[in-house]
Amino acid sequence: MSVDRIRERAGERAQDFLLHEQEYMLGFVEAEQSNPLTRGLGEAARRDAREAVEMIFCVDRVLADTFARCVQGEEYREFAARVEKTLREGGRLVLSGCGATGRLALNLEASWRRAAQRMAAEYPQQAQLLRRLEDQVVTIMTGGDYALIKSVECFEDYAELGARQTAALNVGEGDLLIGVTATAETTSILGTALAAAKAGAKVQMVVCSNPEAVSARLTRAREVFEREGVYALYLPCGAMAVTGSTRMQSSSIEQLSIASAMEEALVRIVTGKSSGTDYAKAFTELMQQLLSDQAVAAAGDYAAFEAKVYEEGGLITYFADEYLLDVLSDTTERSPTFVVPPFVPEGGSGEPSWAFVKDPQRSTEQAWRACLMHEMRCISWTKEDYESFGVKVDPVPKISAQDLLGYRIGCEEAPAREGGTAVWIGEGTPCPSYGAHAGRYAGQKSLTLEDLGVKTEKTSMKLFEHLAIKIVLNTISTVSMGRMGRLTSNFMTWLNMSNKKLIDRSTRLIMQESGLTYEEALYELMVSDEEIAAGLPGVTSPAQRTISRLLHAK
């Protein structure tokens, strides 16, 4: 393609976005702002990994103060009461999320099911009740469970696809759909909420951006938040440690807020009394431990180690048991966030993912079942199905259960990875079967709560263990990528433009780095994307390519 044609197409695409996608220009949203506590994060990571780890943990420490205020508020108390009432009356909690929030929803469902099973052993007289309760929490993951391993980003922009997933679960009267979206505007999640409300279910939105402000600007948000029977829990956590990276602080406070309400309801229903857990105090204590010299040093040194492995062309294979889903969530999110090789299915082509995760005890099929704690909820829609929904998708995404099983997360051998390092993730001592698997790898390490010197508050859903591992993995993956130059200050400069929100975020990043107007930055971004599509040599991240080109021109 000629240079003139590339620029012509870029101009057409930029103009089309400016004219028709104004509702995806989200610079006003809190979660899309830059956090002053992490300015210079990328440069700090390259200088000293421990310093960068501490910068991120400090943002999470502020988050603990925010949560302490939220749990004292009327909105949270009403939310917790709504959760308990729904469960007592036999209704379902339907957790709806997309990307990072979808993964946290799946994690909450799995943790809930494990807690119910553990409590059935502890309270055998309540076993029948607990079997019923176990099935009263289900998840709608945008794009189905397949999106746990690889984001189905095109789904995010379609309310109708969210509505179809809601209908497939027969959500209706007596149910409470909990829509989780940091920005309060994710189209697919709003689609699930609207469909649930129309079907007679109650809807509880859990958001980290002011729903009134978002509704004032965006029609799709207003249609949901102003509807009768829709409630909002607003968790004002502010800017992420990495600008717009809602896999970090916003998903942490959402996970904590929803899990604490669910867990308290479970204990009260089964035992007739409160759990006695002070969730705000426990989270504050967790963050104080993570900011200790031992934890900062252990996390920082591990991040530096992992970056060195990748720089030398090596691979990391994480092994986990109960925390497999936590590890899987973080490793999945690295690919779109930092433009690193995605997971490759069995028999697939392409560069192997820098990091992967495996269960040392179970076959792949058993591992997926143990990880999710439910039968796979995947999507096998045809092209005709999408067209009947009014959605044009080309090619049709392969996101069925069979496609998901192609990712071999079980105990099968992985010769292509065994020249790298095996890393155990968990609370402490590895499970017995780990040693035999790790012995096939060139190197072995561990990254556990025990290594970090962290002892968490014990709860029925193991809420704080899961939260601690999530925060640590998010921090380590961010710092390791920062050491490899994939952060500029606290912005992701290496990211894919796989949905409209990311086009806008990339544009705003280019504005900040270049001084261009929004319109100019958007045009230059589209030029880079067209160059990549045309196969021209250079960086394959449109945002990073644009910044490099513009700064070089200066």
Q: Report pLDDT digits (tens) over 348-400.
A: 888 999 999 999 999 999 999 999 999 999 999 999 999 999 998 888 999 99
> Cα(418)–Cα(530) distance, rounded to whole angstroms?
38
> Cα(391)–Cα(374) distance, rounded to whole angstroms?
29
CB neighbours (10 Å) of residue 393? Answer: 17
Does residue 239 contact residue 35 with C-beta atoms inside 8 Å? yes
> Cα(110)–Cα(137) distance, rounded to whole angstroms?
9
Q: Which residues pair with 448 in a beta bridge?
A: 426
- Could you say which DSSP state residue 419 is in? T
Determine which of 34-38, 136-140, 332-336 has the lowest per-residue pLDDT on average: 332-336
Of 374, 356, 338, the residue nearest 487 (C-alpha) = 338
Locus of tokens 């973080």 = 330
Does residue 487 contact residue 478 with C-beta atoms inside 8 Å? yes
> Cα(130)–Cα(153) distance, rounded to whole angstroms?
36
Does residue 83 contact residue 231 with C-beta atoms inside 8 Å? no
Determine which of 104-108, 170-174, 502-506, 548-552 has the lowest per-residue pLDDT on average: 548-552
Looking at residue 328, its pLDDT comes to 95
pLDDT tens per residue, range 206-238: 999 999 999 998 999 999 999 999 999 999 999
pLDDT higher than 80, residue 1: no
Rounded to a whole number of angstroms, the CA Rg of the chain reads: 23
pLDDT tens per residue, range 514-527: 889 999 999 999 99
Q: What is the mean pLDDT of residues 458-479?
A: 98
Cα dihedral sign for 17, 23, 28, 29? Answer: negative
Structure tokens at 380: 């096998």
> Cα(520)–Cα(498) distance, rounded to whole angstroms?
20
> Cα(197)–Cα(116) distance, rounded to whole angstroms?
28
Of 327, 390, 395, 401, the residue nearest 364 (C-alpha) = 401
DSSP string, 361-409: SS-HHHHHHHHHSS--------HHHHHHTT---SSPP--SHHHHHTS--
Q: How confident is the model at residue 24 (pLDDT cuts 50, 70, 90)?
A: confident
Q: Which residues pair with 422 in a beta bridge?
A: 317, 444
Q: How confident is the model at residue 29 (pLDDT cuts 50, 70, 90)?
A: confident
Residues in the chain: 554
Looking at residue 189, its pLDDT comes to 97
**Strand 137-141 relative to strand 176-181: parallel, antiparallel, unpaired?**
unpaired
> Cα(127)–Cα(338) distance, rounded to whole angstroms?
45
Cα dihedral sign for 187, 191, 193, 198? Answer: positive
Q: Which residues contact 175 (CB under 8 A, 6 or more apart)?
A: 86, 91, 92, 93, 94, 196, 201, 202
In whole angstroms, what separates CA 258 from the centre of its chain?
15
Q: What is the mean pLDDT of residues 339-347?
A: 90
Does residue 127 contact residue 357 with C-beta atoms inside 8 Å? no
Looking at residue 384, its pLDDT comes to 94
Looking at residue 553, its pLDDT comes to 66
pLDDT higher than 60, residue 554: no
N- to C-terminal Cα distance for the chain? Answer: 26
Q: What domains, with CATH codes, occur in the chain?
A: 3-34+490-553 (no CATH), 37-374+399-488 (3.40.50.10490)
Looking at residue 350, its pLDDT comes to 87
Q: φ and ψ at 231, to 5 degrees?
A: -115, 155
**3-class secondary structure for 39-99?**
CCHHHHHHHCHHHHHHHHHHHHHHHHHHHHHHCCCHHHHHHHHHHHHHHHCCCCEEEEECC
Looking at residue 392, its pLDDT comes to 86
Looking at residue 495, its pLDDT comes to 73
The runs of H, that is alpha helices, within 226-345 are 249-271, 279-290, 293-311, 324-338
Looking at residue 20, its pLDDT comes to 85
The runs of H, that is alpha helices, within 152-292 are 159-168, 187-198, 211-217, 219-225, 249-271, 279-290
> Cα(328)–Cα(149) distance, rounded to whole angstroms?
7
Residue type, 122: E
Q: Which residues of 52-88 are buried (b: 16+ CB within 10 A; e: fewer)?
A: bbbbbbbbbbebbebbeebbeeeebeebbebbbebbe
Q: Which residues contact 391 (CB under 8 A, 6 or more apart)?
A: 158, 160, 161
Cα dihedral sign for 204, 252, 481, 43? Answer: positive
pLDDT tens per residue, range 474-507: 999 999 999 999 998 898 877 777 778 789 888 9
Q: Which residues contact 429 (CB under 8 A, 6 or more apart)?
A: 450
CB neighbours (10 Å) of residue 434? Answer: 23
Q: Crossing angle of helices 463-483/324-338, nearest 10°?
A: 30
- Share of residues in the chain with pLDDT > 70 (%): 99
Of 322, 330, 297, the residue nearest 148 (C-alpha) = 330
In whole angstroms, what separates CA 520 from the centre of its chain?
31
pLDDT tens per residue, range 415-435: 999 999 999 999 999 999 999
In whole angstroms, what separates CA 533 from the centre of its chain?
28
> Cα(358)–Cα(319) distance, rounded to whole angstroms?
5
In whole angstroms, what separates CA 210 from the centre of its chain?
20
- Could you say which DSSP state residue 442 is in? S
Of 326, 335, 325, 371, the residue nearest 355 (C-alpha) = 335
